[in-house]
Chain A
Amino acid sequence: MKGTTMDNWEYLVAAYSIIWIAIAGYVFTLSRKQKRLWREIESLKARMRGKGED
């Protein structure tokens, strides 16, 4: 262990930044996939309803 108690702050910043970037990235990916699936389901249901009415 080197230096004083306030040394090595860059390691602290790096650790917390990586944690939040990774979690935000994961949440963003989930949210994007969820929207895409929802859209596809709604579009398929609408197409099936349309064909059913013919």
Chain B
Amino acid sequence: MQILKNNVLSTNALFALMFVTMTAALFLVFVYVPTEASMGIVQRIFYFHVPLAWVAFIAFGIVFIGSILYLRSSNRKWDRLAHSSAEIGMVFTSLVLITGPIWAKPVWGVWWTWDARLTTTLLLWFIYHGYLLVGSFASDESQGARYSAVVGIIGFVDVPIVALSIVLWGTQHPEPVMSEPGGLTGAMLLTLMVSLAAFTLLFAYLLIHRVSLALAADELKRLRQFADERDYDG
């Protein structure tokens, strides 16, 4: 809560920057970028599908770092950061898993195939769903946070597997487009880069708000305990 109150100006500036970048990304996707020759108009899903996956990877990277820092320090703020990041990562991974099949249906002729990239991404979704749930099974909050941190560290192993699945196994999923010769160039590359920037800013904005919410919930809990001890409440 206090973080949010103290940083209203910076979060407003971040929102303004995100809004401008996102508007530019939408303009580039729907007006500027040429239609891809083989897949046609549906290929434009790519300009948001890839940034959604990118943001999910950043989110789970933060879960990994936050989990390590929590286990080292037992400072609750790292658990709050990791948990908030995991929740946002789940929103974005869910959208990756929804927009992927919508793109696949007209291109591959099927909504889903048990291809390595798709399967490891689905596994990623289950791992972080488990991460969000595991804390509630523990007998006390700090034990739950420790369980979650362990899942957050081990679960991150799947992130490089998802990223490298195209290289490790022959998959139907398109190859990495920026690292390959003959990959994206010109207008398409510019559009992807602006979309990546827009979604990264959106993630930063959401993360600040989600962490503030977690800290506010902690403050409310602390105040309730304080009130109970002094018989202020009711």
Contacts and interface: CB of A to CB of B under 8 A. Distances in A.
Interface size class of B (residues with CB under 8 A): 35 or more
Contact of B102 (A6, A15, A41): A15
B148 interface: no
Given A15-B45, A23-B202, A48 B220 contact: no
Contact of A41 (B107, B206, B219): B219
Interface stretch (B58-66, B91-99, B113-121): B91-99
B95 A11 contact: no
Interface in B86-131: 88, 91, 94-95, 98-99, 102-103, 105-107
Interface string A4-27: 111111011011101100110011
B102 A14 contact: yes
Nearest to B218: A37
Contacts, number: 108
A19 B206 CA distance: 15
A46 to B, nearest CB: 11
B76 interface: no
A53 B42 CA distance: 66
Contacts of B153: none
Contacts of A44: 220, 223-224, 227, 232-233
B217 interface: yes
9 closest Cβ pairs, A-B complex: A5-B40, A8-B106, A8-B42, A37-B216, A15-B102, A15-B45, A15-B99, A48-B232, A51-B232
Given A5-B36, A7-B106, A18-B99, 17 more contacts: A5-B35, A5-B40, A6-B35, A8-B40, A8-B42, A11-B102, A14-B102, A15-B98, A15-B99, A16-B48, A19-B52, A19-B95, A26-B91, A27-B206, A37-B213, A41-B216, A44-B227
Interface of A: 1-9, 11-12, 14-16, 18-19, 22-23, 26-27, 30-31, 33-34, 37-38, 40-41, 44-45, 47-48, 51-52
Interface of B: 1, 4, 35-42, 44-45, 48-49, 52, 88, 91, 94-95, 98-99, 102-103, 105-107, 202, 206, 209-210, 212-213, 216-217, 219-220, 223-224, 226-227, 230, 232-233
23 contacts: A1-B40, A1-B107, A5-B40, A6-B40, A7-B41, A8-B42, A11-B106, A12-B41, A14-B102, A16-B45, A18-B98, A22-B94, A23-B202, A27-B209, A30-B213, A34-B209, A37-B1, A37-B220, A38-B216, A44-B223, A44-B227, A45-B223, A48-B230
